[in-house]
Copies of this chain bind each other. A is one copy, B any other.
Amino acid sequence: MLEKDLNHDPSDALKAAFRRHASGVAVITTKSESGDPVGFTATSMTSLGSNPAFVTFNVSQGSSSWPALSRATHLALHMLGSENLGLAKKMAEDQAKRFADSDWEFSEFGLPVFRDATAVLFAKVREFHPVAQNAVFVAEVLSGKLGKLDKGLLYFQRSYFNPADTAL
């Protein structure tokens, strides 16, 4: 039963409800105009139809990646597995350390790619829609690569999880 009202503050209502909603974890990268690798952990990546193949994700215009992202033409969208927990954490923390290791290389379209991701899609930015201080990105998938099969990486109740071993 839906018993507890969350009517006082829409922001609190959203946070309380989304704590109960799991999301897949991705790392999205691009290259800045000066050629530097830029990227971040995203829990909002989702598909928008498969034919034509589009992807959406949401990002804050205040994020460190925003200047590069708002000018980007192409993106690398990494699907993460349980072995990428460290990568998920690294790409959500200190920007200076995100590309300090040798776990990535410039690849298709000059994009920085983390080679231990369980899959990567290469996509062309088609549009983005500013909403308050955030933005919704729409990108068209061009190609991709599969890595090692792994359990998916989730974000749920402010922690990282894998899916349970067996389906419901």
Q: Is the CB of A120 within 8 A of B17?
A: yes
Interface residues of A in 31-58 (CB under 8 A from B): 43-56, 58
Report the nearest B residue to A142, measured CB to CB: B10
| Residues in B whose Cβ lies below 8 Å from that of A146 | 2-4, 6, 16-17, 20
Report the separation of the CA atoms of residues A53 and B63 in the bound assembly, to the nearest whole angstrom. 17
Report the separation of the CA atoms of residues A127 and B79 in the bound assembly, to the nearest whole angstrom. 28
Q: Is the CB of A141 within 8 A of B46?
A: no
Number of copies: 2
| Residues in B whose Cβ lies below 8 Å from that of A85 | 168
* Chain A window 86-129, contacts with chain B (Cβ cutoff 8 Å), 1 for yes, 0 for no: 00000000000000000000000000010111111100001101
Contact of A159 among B26, B129, B167 (CB under 8 A): B167
| Residues in B whose Cβ lies below 8 Å from that of A51 | 11
Q: What are 7 A-B pairs at a CB distance below 8 A?
A: A4-B146, A6-B144, A14-B141, A16-B144, A20-B79, A21-B24, A44-B48
Q: Add 12 more A-B contacts to A1-B115, A23-B23, A161-B166 (CB < 8 A).
A: A3-B145, A6-B144, A10-B144, A11-B53, A13-B121, A17-B119, A21-B152, A22-B22, A44-B48, A82-B168, A131-B138, A164-B165
Q: Which residues of A contact B (CB under 8 A)?
A: 1-7, 10-11, 13-18, 20-24, 26, 43-56, 58, 60, 77, 79, 81-82, 85, 113, 115-121, 126-127, 129, 131-134, 136, 138, 140-150, 152-154, 156-157, 159-168
